[in-house]
């Protein structure tokens, strides 16, 4: 067996060799050039049509392809080129397979030309996939050196569904080793940077998707989320992202971490530049009856009735609850400003959310993940001998002991002990449901709160290695609530001043307060989560459209 470093270096150099010379940037921006989000527009590699295509959202792209204005080959080529540009400045890709994607696009164009009909609701649309989502014949090493050289024998169920709907899977995207980090770094592909400020993390674990979609190097990407892994990169990169409930999007046929952990599992979800993109993805997936292909996919069709907010008074007089902080760590000033913007945009049709037992929920969730995580990571890394990464910090290799860090050393627990933790989880979920239902007394609508508006994290995108908590997102994973990330604004050093110290909840809260300094967070996107109930994706999307429209008209 070769040294793990040489296997990783070989894979990385093979990846680089797949970049066509004519798509290489003539001048690589210096590390001091932190905002690279405009590079695709300024680098000169994309012509006017390619820029128009890649600056278009999913609705325009689908309509333009269906009406023959643009071919799928033209659209896929343009996004591929822009993805490669994005990769050169943020390191967001894993697998590159240009020829294969363009061949597929050409077949779709041929079908449309011959029959006059699209093959499905995603006809011709290039879609990026997080590295774990298998595409037959390609690697899904997930940043593990041990898995380099293993080629998928078949598509993931989702890949099949997307292809049947007419999509063109065209790149795979970067992840952190183990997937259990809210940043993106591994020994094979290295670190993904935030395009709005490369000194900041893209977030994780779907950080490759976050950077790529924010660079408009992909119109629609698919990530996974076990504790915030779709929402943190979406929030940190300023795009839309949905964490659907367990089983709404089929997971079968993907590679993963912590496999067999049935109690608080990961889910797949979309990242894109518009809520329309989120809706289009979810509708296409539900429409493909995924339960006939994945036994864990829930038999629940897309419901127009629920999308029309049948369970929310038809959308009249919605009442949102804002969670200003989670009682553990107070958010940084720009996050709070983002929430205030939302509150104003919603014309104050909001009440305050009073979180309860978030610390217990997070501890319970960590205990479930940790129950077998150490062994899982050891089993996967031992064939190559690569170390299990203990910190995402480029300058710090001391082990992390974060509340949600599944790598923290822990004695093995027995199955019976795990059951007791899982029983506690059920009890906490029951209590939180009651908490939500009890808001019927304060909304004035005759209904409980329609959705919660909450921070994505206590911080915006932060310096590499410093994003040590996923508490604002993970809490909804354990509760299995559907959650949509919506971009609101960006950090503005003139508006987002350091505030006077508050009474700190704890040491983490104090440390988080002290970490804030508007200059260091320059240009970082500000986002919110819109949190609905379990399996309520349709309503969450519809309410997201309302909030998004309010924000746009407010700006």
Please state, in angstroms and rounded to a whole number, the distance separating the CA atoms of residues 435 and 432. Answer: 5
- The one segment of 91-99, 236-244, 256-264, 380-388 that binds a copy of itself by CB under 8 A: 256-264
| Of 177, 194, 230, residue with least CA distance to 473 | 230
Q: Is 205 annotated as a binding residue?
A: yes
Q: Give the nearest distance from C-beta 361 to a copy of itself in angstroms.
A: 12
Catalytic residues: 130, 205, 229
Residue 423 is a binding residue for a copy of itself (CB under 8 A):
yes
Residue 279 is a binding residue for a copy of itself (CB under 8 A):
no
Residue 63 or 430: the one with the smaller Cβ distance to a copy of itself is: 430
Among 30, 32, 412, 553, binds a copy of itself (CB under 8 A): 412
Among 33, 63, 430, 514, binds a copy of itself (CB under 8 A): 430
Please state, in angstroms and rounded to a whole number, the distance separating the CA atoms of residues 356 and 287. Answer: 37
- Biggest CA–CA distance in the chain, Å, is 68
* CA 471 from centre of chain: 15
Q: What are phi and psi of 151, to 5 degrees?
A: -105, 135
Please state, in angstroms and rounded to a whole number, the distance separating the CA atoms of residues 348 and 354. Answer: 17
- The one segment of 2-10, 90-98, 275-283, 530-538 that binds a copy of itself by CB under 8 A: 530-538
Please state, in angstroms and rounded to a whole number, the distance separating the CA atoms of residues 93 and 192. Answer: 9
Residue 452 is a binding residue for a copy of itself (CB under 8 A):
no
Among 261, 272, 273, 527, binds a copy of itself (CB under 8 A): 261
| Of 241, 215, 211, residue with least CA distance to 51 | 215
> How many of the chain's residues bind a copy of itself (CB under 8 A)?
46
Residue 357 is a binding residue for a copy of itself (CB under 8 A):
no
Residue 417 is a binding residue for a copy of itself (CB under 8 A):
yes
Residue 299 is a binding residue for a copy of itself (CB under 8 A):
yes
Q: Give the nearest distance from C-beta 183 to a copy of itself in angstroms.
A: 25
Please state, in angstroms and rounded to a whole number, the distance separating the CA atoms of residues 161 and 250. Answer: 9
Quick one: which H or E segment has residue 477? helix 471-479
- The one segment of 6-14, 15-23, 117-125, 429-437 that binds a copy of itself by CB under 8 A: 429-437
Residue 2 or 420: the one with the smaller Cβ distance to a copy of itself is: 420
Residue 421 is a binding residue for a copy of itself (CB under 8 A):
yes
Residue 405 is a binding residue for a copy of itself (CB under 8 A):
no
Among 418, 435, 463, 550, binds a copy of itself (CB under 8 A): 418
- The tokens describing 157, both together, are 């169920």
Please state, in angstroms and rounded to a whole number, the distance separating the CA atoms of residues 206 and 475. Answer: 18
| Of 404, 301, 418, 318, residue with least CA distance to 371 | 418
- The tokens describing 129, both together, are 């996939």
What's the chain's length in residues? 555
- The tokens describing 149, both together, are 């050289």
Binding site for a copy of itself (CB under 8 A): 252, 258-263, 291-296, 298-300, 371-372, 374-376, 412-424, 426, 429-430, 432-433, 437, 479-480, 533-536
Q: Which residues are annotated as a binding site for substrate?
A: 179, 205, 226-229
């Amino acid at each position: 067996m070769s040294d793990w470093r040489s296997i990783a270096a070989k894979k990385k150099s093979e990846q680089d060799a797949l970049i066509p010379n004519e798509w290489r940037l003539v001048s690589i921006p210096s590390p001091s050039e932190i905002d690279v989000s405009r590079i695709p527009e300024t680098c000169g590699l994309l012509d006017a049509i390619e820029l128009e295509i890649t600056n278009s959202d999913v609705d325009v792209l689908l309509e333009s392809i269906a009406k023959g204005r643009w071919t799928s080959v033209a659209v896929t080529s343009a996004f591929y080129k822009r993805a490669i540009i994005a990769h050169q400045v943020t390191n967001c890709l894993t697998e590159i397979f240009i020829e294969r994607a363009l061949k597929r696009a050409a077949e779709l164009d041929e079908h449309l030309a011959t029959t006059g009909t699209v093959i499905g609701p995603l006809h011709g649309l290039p879609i990026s996939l997080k590295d774990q989502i298998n595409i037959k014949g390609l690697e899904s090493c997930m940043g593990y050196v041990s898995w380099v050289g293993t080629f998928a024998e078949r598509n993931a169920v989702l890949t099949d569904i997307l292809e049947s709907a007419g999509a063109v899977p065209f790149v795979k995207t970067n992840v952190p080793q183990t997937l259990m980090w809210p940043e993106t770094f591994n020994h094979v592909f290295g670190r993904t940077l935030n395009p709005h400020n490369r000194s900041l993390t893209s977030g994780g674990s779907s950080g490759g998707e976050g950077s790529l979609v924010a660079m408009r190097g992909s119109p629609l990407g698919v990530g996974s989320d076990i504790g915030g892994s779709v929402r943190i990169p979406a929030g940190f990169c300023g795009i839309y992202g949905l964490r659907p409930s367990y089983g709404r999007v089929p997971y079968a046929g993907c590679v993963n971490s912590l496999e067999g952990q049935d109690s608080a599992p990961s889910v797949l979800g979309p990242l894109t530049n518009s809520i329309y993109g989120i809706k289009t993805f979810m509708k296409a997936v539900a429409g493909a009856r995924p339960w006939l292909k994945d036994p864990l996919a829930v038999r629940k069709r897309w419901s127009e009735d629920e999308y029309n907010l049948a369970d929310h008074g038809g959308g009249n007089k919605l009442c949102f609850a804002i969670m200003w902080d989670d009682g553990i760590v107070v958010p940084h000033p720009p996050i709070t400003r983002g929430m205030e913007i939302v509150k104003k945009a919603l014309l104050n049709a909001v009440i305050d959310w009073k979180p309860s037992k978030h610390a217990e929920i997070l501890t319970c969730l960590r205990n479930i993940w940790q129950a077998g995580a150490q062994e899982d990571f050891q089993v996967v890394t031992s064939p190559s001998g690569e170390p299990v990464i203990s910190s995402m910090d480029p300058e710090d290799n001391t082990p992390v002991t974060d509340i949600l860090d599944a790598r923290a050393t822990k004695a093995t627990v027995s199955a019976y002990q795990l059951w007791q933790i899982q029983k506690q989880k059920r009890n906490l979920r029951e209590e939180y449901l009651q908490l939500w239902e009890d808001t019927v007394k304060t909304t004035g609508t005759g209904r409980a709160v329609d959705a919660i508006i909450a921070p994505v994290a206590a911080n915006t995108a932060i310096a590499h290695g410093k994003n040590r908590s996923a508490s604002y997102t993970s809490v909804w994973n354990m509760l299995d609530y559907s959650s949509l990330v919506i971009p609101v604004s960006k950090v503005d050093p003139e508006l987002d001043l350091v505030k006077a110290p508050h009474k700190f909840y704890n040491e983490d809260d104090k440390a988080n307060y002290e970490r804030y300094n508007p200059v260091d967070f320059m240009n970082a996107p500000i986002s919110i989560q819109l949190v609905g109930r379990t399996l309520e994706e349709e309503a969450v999307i519809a309410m997201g459209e309302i909030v998004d429209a309010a924000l746009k008209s407010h700006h």
